[in-house]
């Protein structure tokens, strides 16, 4: 495992594969707005960014749990609330979402070096497709695989292997970058190198470093040593 603040081996790759939420894109404020719209509709207090941001990479149910707190586990309409949140989010999917600082420069550099890049996210396709289409910087993705493209999602390695196949690159020549433990678990199982996006929706730097990715990057600019 290497830390971007210490000497790191210089390894180059034929393809970079990225998680979406919390890695390429800061989507938390759109997800938080959808959550707060649900909370208001159900006479619950809205929550601030420090509550919803840590849950932003973990799906609708994690967001609802963050919003409803201790009430959530016994709530009789979890499925209905999940669908309400997804509908609200789909209707305003790219109002505030944007690339993290440094991502646009990294993607341009990859393309200039003829290094392929793609996206593998657990976000369902009906949300992934319009979101990626709305973000100009992401239109060069050579493969986009969603959480429901296959019958399984991360931490299974199969979606990552499928992405590598779409890119035409051997898994061992791919680097996967993500901001959740399941991303690192999936990459290891797929026989890919991995990097933790410490700028994303991680629980804490200490926890994220404990996932034992090959690299721990504080900024997308840290990736420039590997292209």
pLDDT digits (tens, 9 = 90+) for 43-71: 999 999 999 999 998 889 999 999 999 88
Q: Say whether 8 sits in a helix, a strand or coil.
A: coil
Question: Is this prediction's pTM over 0.85?
Answer: yes
Residue 85 sits at φ, ψ, to 5 deg, of: -65, -45
Cα–Cα–Cα angle for 194, 53, 1, nearest 5°?
20
- Shortest CA distance to 90 belongs to which of 50, 127, 61? 127
Residues serving a catalytic function are: 19
> Residues 21, 57: contact at Cβ < 8 Å?
yes
Residue 73: the pLDDT is 85
Residue 2: the pLDDT is 52
Residues of the chain scoring pLDDT < 50: 4-7
Structure tokens at 69: 């707190």
Residue 18: the pLDDT is 98
Residue 173: is it exposed, middle or buried by C-beta count within 10 angstroms (0-12/13-18/19+)? middle
Residue 7: the pLDDT is 44
User: Residue 56, Cβ neighbours under 10 Å: how many?
Assistant: 24
Residue 9: the pLDDT is 56
| Unique residue bearing structure tokens 């890049």 | 117
Q: How far apart are CA 26 and CA 96, in angstroms?
A: 8
Sign, CA torsion 105/109/115/116: positive
For β-strands 2-3 and 98-99, DSSP reports them as: unpaired
Q: How far apart are CA 171 and CA 36, in angstroms?
A: 40
Q: How far apart are CA 220 and CA 100, in angstroms?
A: 8
Residue 57: the pLDDT is 84
């Amino acid at each position: 495992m290497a830390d971007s603040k210490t000497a790191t081996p210089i390894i180059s790759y034929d393809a970079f594969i990225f998680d979406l939420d919390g890695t390429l894109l800061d989507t938390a404020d759109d997800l938080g707005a959808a959550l707060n719209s649900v909370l208001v509709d159900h006479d619950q207090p809205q929550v601030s960014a420090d509550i919803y941001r840590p849950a932003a990479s973990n799906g609708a149910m994690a967001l609802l749990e963050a919003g409803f707190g201790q009430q959530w586990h016994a709530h009789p309409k979890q499925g209905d609330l999940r669908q309400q949140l997804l509908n609200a989010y789909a209707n305003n999917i790219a109002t505030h979402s944007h690339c993290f600082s440094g991502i646009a420069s990294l993607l341009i550099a990859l393309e200039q070096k003829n290094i392929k890049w793609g996206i593998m996210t657990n976000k369902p396709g009906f949300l992934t497709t319009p979101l990626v289409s709305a973000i100009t910087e992401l239109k060069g993705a050579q493969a986009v695989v969603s959480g429901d493209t296959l019958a399984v999602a991360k931490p299974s390695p199969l979606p990552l292997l499928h992405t590598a196949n779409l890119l035409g690159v051997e898994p061992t020549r791919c680097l996967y970058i993500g901001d959740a433990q399941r991303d690192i678990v999936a990459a290891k199982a797929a026989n890919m190198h991995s990097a933790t996006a410490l700028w994303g929706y991680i629980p804490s730097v200490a926890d994220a470093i404990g996932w034992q990715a090959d690299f721990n990057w504080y900024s997308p600019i840290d990736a420039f040593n590997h292209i």
